[in-house]
Chains A and B, each alone.
Chain A
């Protein structure tokens, strides 16, 4: 035994150590360690890379976007299935926060708090954030939801097994199980309209142009103009989802 031990001398140790450390350095320089196992790839800086901007100051809460989304995409009518909806936030003088979204805002809103008790109130349209590091894509066991090279998170309804793991993983509540198909359903950014040169239905229909949609890779796009000229924020930034839905005038109460 002692003989065996002496065979491995200190010099050998340093030699082996140098090889290991050097090898790690070289390989990590060649292929930098990507610390997080994300399901999707970051933007490559070529082609389109879609993002969305919503100006809360401009939203009047008509709910036309939510309605248009249901009609355009044949979303079930029952008030449990939404790809796009509007929330009404009312913060009272005493600090209580009231959030409402009756039927997703499709039938319009009523203010339930008398004006003299209101500190501030505003509408927040919600939809899929088309995250660049989507938690929903990350957890799909079969690859039935994915991000297209253009940055749109889609569902493959012919491959989805309906396990609902992605519904649990979406921090924004933007997914539901289609009651007839048994597969998951979500906003497609109206990719069927985009390919025909039209805007997504909710953007098309917004009466106050509170919704801006465009290519983040194009420095001259309307969206980049909007982002440059407003202080924009995403919802739940601490979750690091790489959300591409940017809100102007987003209050910290919005979750």
Chain B
């Protein structure tokens, strides 16, 4: 075999061998077990931290409110819809078993007009009643910008919750 061919073949052989070795060394474990990916990545994705507790957790302490709520229009709303994620709040009570919740874990109280407006502000996209006979999406709409805005004498702004109980509107 000519000299240059020999040299070339050995260079290429070394290169390919190195590549194959690297491949063995660097290929992550669990790769290819379920498909062309690291099977462990599914596990890693399930290990993420939770924030929303789910409505079952609320019933443990706030049974009275849930009872109120079950009688009104908001019965199908989960608590966290308005109050925000509450897992830390719920876990704290589970652990410490006291009502003395630190300020940082007190959940949001939506008492501003804008909090109600997010669902109830009148919007053509929201009117569905005439199309939907089951009426499941019937929702009361109001122009939050002018509906009983303030006391005409004192000019004090009303909040929605001054007249409507959010748990039983």
Contact = CB atoms under 8 A, between A and B. Distances in A.
B46 A60 contact: no
B47 to A, nearest CB: 7
Interface core residue of A40, A123, A199, A208 (most chain B CB under 10 Å): A208
Interface string B27-46: 01001001111100110111
Interface in A148-169: 148-149, 154-159
A111 B101 CA distance: 40
Given A192-B47, A201-B51, A60 B37 contact: no
Nearest to A144: B37
B125 A158 contact: no
B60 interface: no
A28 B45 CA distance: 39
Interface core residue of B28, B31, B54, B114 (most chain A CB under 10 Å): B54
A149 B132 contact: no
Report, as a range, how many residues of chain A touch the other chain: 35 or more
A41 B35 contact: yes
B81 interface: yes
Report, as a range, how many residues of chain B touch the other chain: 35 or more
A10 B51 CA distance: 77
Contacts of A210: 137
A73 B137 contact: no
Contacts of B48: 73, 188, 192
Contacts of A107: 118
A223 B168 CA distance: 30
B72 interface: no
Contacts of A121: 123-125
B123 to A, nearest CB: 5
Interface of A: 39-41, 57-64, 68, 71-74, 88-90, 107-111, 113, 115, 118, 120-123, 143-149, 154-159, 188, 191-196, 198-199, 201, 204-205, 207-210
